[in-house]
Amino acid sequence: MTENLSRNILWEAINCLVVDDDKFSRTFMKTALYQIGIKNVREAVDVDEAREILADFKIDVILLDQLMPGKTGLDFARELKLHAQDKGKEIPIIMVTVDTKEKTVLDAKNIGIQEYLVKPISPSALKKRLCTAFGIKQERV
């Protein structure tokens, strides 16, 4: 019982940023995060808004769309990884996109994006990727 409690506290302590230009996708991801137990969710419609949120709030993980107007998710991830080297702290990034092109997936991996999830997502698939990104072993049910 205390193990489950500590897991719930862990999820509740996580601050997540969802970056996606599509309102439906952001709402869907936010709902999936809530089902997992992550309640602290900020939303950004583009890279500029995401930058502002990152400057003002402590974020533990980013769910990032690839296909957005202006800067792509990969462009933003590159920028974040370079900036993280300056600060010495890397925020885990999970790419959540409809883009399944091999080049995009390889580029994401080469940049250092921890996980790649293809839309439409399920809460269980998202939880699995979050566990991997945070190095949490998931129990098999």
Q: What is the pLDDT along the chain (141 residues), one digit of tens a residue?
A: 334 544 555 899 999 999 999 999 999 999 999 999 999 999 999 999 999 999 999 999 999 999 998 899 999 999 998 877 655 478 999 999 999 999 999 999 999 898 999 999 999 999 999 999 888 876 554
Contact 11, 36 (CB under 8 A): yes
Instruction: Give the whole-angstrom CA distance, residue 114 versus residue 25.
Output: 20
Question: What is the per-residue pLDDT across 46-80, written as a single tens digit (0 to 9) for each?
Answer: 999 999 999 999 999 999 999 998 899 999 999 99
Q: How many CA within 13 A on the CB side of residue 100?
A: 5
Q: Which residues pair with 118 in a beta bridge?
A: 97
| Paired tokens of 43 | 């939303």
| Residue that the structure tokens 């991801």 belong to | 29
